[in-house]
Amino acid sequence: MRGWQQYRLLLALVLLASADMATRAQDSKSVIGPTNLELHDGAEALLVGDAEEGVRMTLIGLRQANSNRERYTAWSNLCAGYVMLEQLETALKYCDQVIEETDGHWRAFSNRALIYVKLRRYEEAERDLQRGEALSPDARTLKAVRAMLRDAVEPVAPSIVIDDRRQPADAGDED
Amino acid sequence: MKTNGAVCLALIASLSNAIANEDTQVTHLTDDAGDRQPLHTVVPVYPESARRERVEGDVQVCFNVDREGRTSRVRVRTSTHRVFEKPAKLALSASTYKPLAAEKKVSGIKTCRTFRFRLIPVAIERPADAG
């Protein structure tokens, strides 16, 4: 359960950034508001957990994309959306598309690493994480995927020692 | 079992009043040097962020115990990492000690407890790996 919650949070973080990108896609033209409404609304739907609607809108947004940046955002969000729908192979296809087109999209590496973790393809997850971390060393989502990979490869269990033994220094502790 | 100054080591992972994570292994070390004996020991939660980042640490808290065994004025005395301080204080505040006998006086000496937060590697065998 903990892994799933962590995973949903992670997707939310990736999508949040993607929604913002969809909104700001053409800042240089001083356009106010989203330039690709479907892409934006798709990201918003994914953010609130409506994966089916999110994917549907993002697919429409992808058809209307008029820049590489919008296409990368759409593919990256479709990757995340299909992960939410547990359709990992389809998700992987979209992440692969982003990465084939550009090797500078850390979110795609993050999403794909997440898929590889889910598919237990840990070496590939590690490789993508390293590439993503090189592009964005402080990205929280990458850190979260890194933690998931670590948990999968080197799981640990908490151990707590409660030590009530009196220590010499304790004796002097008066109120 | 020795009683005079001997350390009593008990695994209390199944402690009914524990609030720790389900998979937490708990070890309670006690001796009879203090004048108060634990009654209800609440186990702190291992902070999820610390577990994720593989952070371990120790926190020693010191506190008063009243006649009825309730704890108060819980203070962190030493700590290796701040992330563990809050769970340690919460657990201690929810813990109790055995009440004092009527003829005994409440000591002004603070009681201290050290929590050692550790992570131990575990091997998980997945169904697909079996056989």
Q: What is the mean pLDDT of residues B23-33?
A: 86
* Contact present, A109 and A129 (Cβ < 8 Å): yes
* Contact present, B61 and B112 (Cβ < 8 Å): yes
Contacts of A24 (CB under 8 A, 6+ apart): none
Q: Collapsing DSSP states into helix, strand and coil, what is residue A172?
A: helix
Q: What is the chain A residue with the closest CA to B115?
A: A162
Q: What is the largest CA-CA distance in chain A?
A: 75
Could you please state the CATH topology (level 3) that the domain comprising B35-121 is classified under: TolA/TonB C-terminal domain (3.30.2420)
Domains and CATH numbers, chain A: 2-152 (1.25.40.10)
Q: What is the pLDDT of residues B72-90, one digit of tens each?
A: 999 999 999 999 999 999 9
pTM (predicted TM-score): 0.68
Domain limits, chain B: 35-121
Closest CB to A161: pick one of B53, B111, B118: B118
Q: Collapsing DSSP states into helix, strand and coil, what is residue B74?
A: strand
| Angle of the A37-47 helix axis to the A51-63 helix axis, nearest 10 | 160
Contact at CB, A161 and B73, closer than 8 angstroms = no
What gap in Å lies between CA A88 and CA A82, rounded to an integer? 6
Contact at CB, A155 and B124, closer than 8 angstroms = yes
Answer whether residue B102 shows pLDDT above 60.
Answer: yes
Range among A147-161, B16-30, B97-111, B116-130 with highest mean pLDDT value: A147-161
Confidence of residue A11 (pLDDT cuts 50, 70, 90): low
Answer whether residue B14 shows pLDDT above 60.
Answer: no
The DSSP annotation for A37-74 comes to HHHHHHHHHHHTT-HHHHHHHHHHHHHT--SHHHHHHH
Q: What is the pLDDT of residues A63-115, one digit of tens each?
A: 999 898 899 999 999 999 999 999 999 999 999 999 999 888 898 999 999 99
